[in-house]
Homo-oligomer: A and B are copies of this chain.
Amino acid sequence: VRNFSTRLYCSAKGMPEKSGADGMSETLRKGEQTRQTIIELAAPIFNRRGFTACSLAEIMEATGLEKGGVYRHFANKEELAEEVFRYSARRALEARGIGGAEEGDALMRLRKMITRFIDVPSPIPGGCPLLNTAIDSDDGNPALRKLAARAFAAWKRRICRVVEQGIEEGVIQHATNAESVATVFIATLEGAVALTRVECSRDALKHAQIFLGGLLDQIAVKQKTRKRRVS
């Protein structure tokens, strides 16, 4: 995470007029930058405490802004929460979803996905924001719930695609139901995350890894079969 808060309030004169083609750094208006900073600093708070329990006072403290400074950028707590979730979900999926698993065959890539999810901690402190939001917003916050649903769906779609690629590549059995595999992947990993949190131990994730590995073995095209095919 870049440090935004130290960039605030730096008079524009001291900076290069129009930062040229330096990476992504599209020069943001000051307000836009503040808005982004708020989102990033609020993310762990919402993630840890949930929508209702997280108060604006906590966000004010975290950002160093006063209420007026926060409400200038967001119509209300709800809108802030939504933006925060979008940010958190994106970060979470980038870090633990599938990103970086582009090498090897589909089976390897799936295995890499599991490993990444288990080894890489949530980029937003407080656990998986998708799970947290899904449970937290179960009732009474349909907007957030919908966002969580979409995030899960996106994740699932990515896994599905890899499974389908595996089928095309001939490393995964034809009959495999990709949707089913993806769902079980997510369910088991997220369930393990939940256990991990209450048990204060990562054992659950290790067990999940082993058994999801077994699942992959089950749907894999058996070595003998595969060779025969090739020949």
Q: Which residues of A line the B interface, CB within 8 A?
A: 48-50, 52-53, 126-127, 131-132, 134-136, 138-140, 145, 148-149, 152-153, 177, 179-180, 183-184, 186-192, 194-195, 197-200, 203-204, 207-208, 210-211, 214-215, 218
Contact = CB atoms under 8 A, between A and B. Distances in A.
B134 A138 contact: no
Which residue among A53, A192, A195, A200 has the maximum number of chain B CB atoms within 10 Å of its CB? Answer: A195
**Identical subunits present:** 4
Main DSSP-derived SS at the A contact region: helix
25 contacts: A50-B52, A134-B195, A134-B197, A134-B198, A135-B194, A138-B197, A148-B198, A149-B200, A153-B199, A179-B203, A183-B192, A183-B208, A184-B188, A184-B192, A184-B207, A184-B211, A186-B195, A187-B188, A187-B191, A187-B192, A187-B207, A188-B188, A191-B192, A211-B215, A218-B218
